[in-house]
A = this chain, B = another copy of it.
Amino acid sequence: MYDEIITLLEEKQFNKARKEVLNYNEADIAEIIEDAIEEVSIEKAIILFRMLPKDISAEVFSFLSSDTKLEIINGITDKEIQYIVDELFFDDMIDLLEELPANVVKKILSRTEKEKRNLINQFLKYPVDSAGSLMTIEYVDLKKEMTVKESIEYLKEHGISKETIYTCYVMDSGRRLEGIVPLRQLIISEDDTVLKDIMDTDVISVNAFDDQEEIAKVFMKYDFIALPVVDKENRLVGIITIDDIVDVIEQENTEDFHRMAALMPSEKQYMGSSAFFLARQRIPWLLILMFSSIITGSIIGKFQLVLSQVIALVTFLPMVMGTGGNAGAQSSTLVIRGMAVGDIELSDILRVVWKEIKVSAIVGIFLSLFNFVRIYVVGGGSLLLAITVSLSLFLVVLSAKVIGGTLPIIAKKIGIDPAIMANPFIASLTDMISVTIYFILATILLGIG
């Protein structure tokens, strides 16, 4: 898509490349820089970045990935860093400072005016995934005695650099939040109307220490585009805007996808990660799950006698184990997702158990009958073997679905991320149960041992 610019960079035609690049939106320019790092070289990408007009460079910077941000910071002068930091919206600046090495942060802060420095230090103290770390201080604060005309005048004077002026916040002298006025309301009201007569006092706000996942749920529930953040005395400390929440939603989803595939969650992009990094992300869970499958193996070992007498038993083992794992994974995924979107609450656990029992009765009977017919009627296998396989399958599906449905809820109750209780983990648990049920039934029904 940006082939032409990439070619210009490869040919070191920086001025031409710069001219081409400026035809694009800042988000596109950020993408071009990322492409250039991957396809040309980091040095040339940085040269291109440094040639951008200053006001554009700061905005482009805010669209770059964390890795690229750090690379660029390492490749430009302190003065250029300072400029970017000053131009960024407050929330983007805090994000950047959180990721920079301590000595760089110190240098930047030493050049910042005292009042702003104190504010920055306060923001850096909020936990990484809290409302505090998401919010920005660029909002419009009005007083309830102001008229619509005065408010609009005030906006004209102060509003230009604000990240959002679409909701105005009305505060008392102690900075406690008293109400909100959507800009839409200001526009359609008469000039001499006083804010206190049009403001909405029924304000929904979040606390600066609330977790970002909970805040995303509030945004989704109420369809907000911005949300005020208050401290415990109900003083307004910042606002969160929907564009940052969209990022949070994608980030939380990625985290869940990773956890549910036995990966250590990471915000780093796949294409930009080294093989060692990716291997480190994968080995821990593979090891944990390996131990569990070693246990499954040793359970099978205990039944070697049955196995050696009816070697055909082993050919049905992948089916019984696999179906158990898949059945459990289905239930756990539905419950994990249901909790993530707010459909299932902790208190629903007994209702989930009952539902999973009913579902697994239907699924289990269907699959068992299917296999009975396949083994005994169509395949002409032994009746007792067919019963062993079908009955095991039914019991395995039942226990897998109940375990899959409840473990995520229990995990959440005791403070573990429910997403861990997904496919590989649930499947490795149900594997143990599957082989135990299967071989015990075989021992009894086939009369061996």
Q: A interface vs B, CB < 8 Å?
A: 25, 27, 31, 152, 155-156, 159-160, 162, 165-166, 183-184, 187-188, 202, 204, 219-225, 242-243, 245-247, 249-250, 253-254, 256-258, 260-263, 269-272, 275-276, 278-279, 282-283, 285-287, 289-290, 292-294, 296-298, 300-301, 304, 307-308, 311-312, 314-319, 321-323, 325-327, 329-330, 332-338, 341, 343-344, 348, 351, 355, 358-359, 361-363, 366-367, 370, 422-424, 427-428, 431, 435
Contact = CB atoms under 8 A, between A and B. Distances in A.
Given A312-B301, A423-B423, A329 B165 contact: no
Contacts of A367: 283, 286-287, 290
Task: Across the A-B interface, give the 7 residue pairs with the lowest CB-CB distance, nearest first.
Answer: A261-B333, A275-B358, A279-B362, A293-B322, A223-B243, A297-B315, A296-B318
23 contacts: A27-B222, A27-B223, A183-B183, A242-B246, A249-B250, A260-B333, A263-B333, A271-B351, A275-B355, A275-B361, A276-B362, A285-B326, A286-B323, A286-B330, A286-B363, A297-B317, A297-B319, A300-B318, A301-B312, A307-B311, A308-B311, A322-B431, A329-B424
Nearest to A246: B220
A330 B297 CA distance: 22
Contacts of A260: 257, 260-261, 333, 423
Contacts of A424: 325-326, 329, 423
A163 B258 CA distance: 37
Contacts of A31: 221
A2 B361 CA distance: 34
Nearest to A259: B333
A37 to B, nearest CB: 13
A359 B287 contact: no
A359 B275 CA distance: 5
A211 to B, nearest CB: 18
Contacts of A257: 256-257, 260, 333, 336-337
Contacts of A27: 221-223
A431 B311 contact: no
Contacts of A343: 269-272
Contacts of A359: 275, 278-279, 282
A292 B159 CA distance: 63
A427 B247 CA distance: 31
A438 to B, nearest CB: 12
A246 B250 CA distance: 10
A315 B298 contact: yes
A149 to B, nearest CB: 12
Q: Which residue among A254, A286, A322 has the maximum number of chain B CB atoms within 10 Å of its CB?
A: A322
B225 A323 contact: no
Contact of A187 (B156, B348, B363, B427): B156
B307 A314 contact: yes
Contacts of A165: 184, 187
Given A279-B363, A322-B431, A188 B156 contact: yes
Given A323-B293, A424-B329, A270 B166 contact: no
B293 A254 contact: no
A255 to B, nearest CB: 10
A135 to B, nearest CB: 16
A161 B242 CA distance: 22
Given A269-B338, A322-B427, 8 more contacts: A25-B222, A166-B166, A263-B333, A285-B330, A293-B321, A298-B315, A308-B308, A318-B431
Contacts of A283: 363, 366-367
Contact of A25 (B202, B316, B322): B202
Contacts of A423: 260-261, 329, 423-424
A336 to B, nearest CB: 8
Contact of A319 (B224, B243, B293): B293
